[in-house]
Amino acid sequence: MAVGSLDALRDLLDATDGLELSPDSDVVIVMTAAAFIGVTEVAIELSLLFEVAGARVEALMNVDHSSGDEPYFARRVREADLVVLADGSALHAKSVWHGSALGEAIRDARRVVSIGSVSSVLGATMIDPRGGAPTTGLGYLDGLVLTTRVGEEQLNRTRTLLGADVALAVLGLRGVVRYEDAAWRVMSEDVVTTRALEVVTL
């Protein structure tokens, strides 16, 4: 599942048909992408969201390349009932997770929620946040390219470069999409899906 922001994640936790968690759920937060935006503050904010719901929460401070192959981090991601990927620098997350034990664990995790721009990293194609051009993602998910809302000029450039063969989902701040049984589903109104410049439905 991918959400556009922390607010969209809050909405999911509050919704009766949203993100179902049992009181003893094991939630692991992967902090890699937040390396440059205040890891401790982000970890506390995310942890509190899930602790209020009664979950057991651990934030993994794997913010640099050397931590990508840390066995403990990979094991905790594999064990967790839910893995949450913090927002931040998509390119940094990609560089840390690519070809690492942690990246493989994220790919194989039971349930993953990615927040904001880091969602783009998980697809076969990701959107470079520096200018909106398509580039190679980690390839963990198929069938949809994800990005967050930016200026319309940059979005139109991205859509044109992707062409009509590839579906692009733009997550607004309240946007939510779910990947289940090898299919994508839009879960909120704050998502625009297109092929080239034409709006489409998934």
Who wins on pLDDT, 8 or 38? Answer: 8
pLDDT at position 6 over 70: yes
pLDDT in tens, 142-153: 999 999 999 899
pLDDT for position 155: 94
CA-CA-CA-CA torsion sign (62, 65, 66, 72): positive
User: Is residue 192 a contact partner of residue 23, using CB atoms and an 8 Å limit?
Assistant: no
Of 17-31, 65-79, 163-177, minimum mean pLDDT range: 17-31
pLDDT for position 108: 96
User: Is residue 144 a contact partner of residue 182, using CB atoms and an 8 Å limit?
Assistant: no
Percent of residues, the chain, with pLDDT higher than 90: 81
User: Is residue 94 a contact partner of residue 125, using CB atoms and an 8 Å limit?
Assistant: no
Assign residue 19 the CATH number of its domain: 3.40.50.880
pLDDT at position 182 over 90: no
| Nearest partner of 146 among 101, 193, 107, 111, judged by Cα | 193
Section 48-62 average pLDDT:
91
pLDDT in tens, 35-46: 888 899 999 999
pLDDT in tens, 119-160: 999 999 999 988 899 999 999 999 999 999 998 999 999 999
Domain span including residue 38: 2-199
The model carries a pTM of 0.94
| Run of H or E residues at 50 | helix 39-52
pLDDT for position 16: 63
Average pLDDT over the chain reads 93
Section 86-90 average pLDDT:
94
> How many domains does one find in the chain?
1
Confidence of residue 17 (pLDDT cuts 50, 70, 90): low
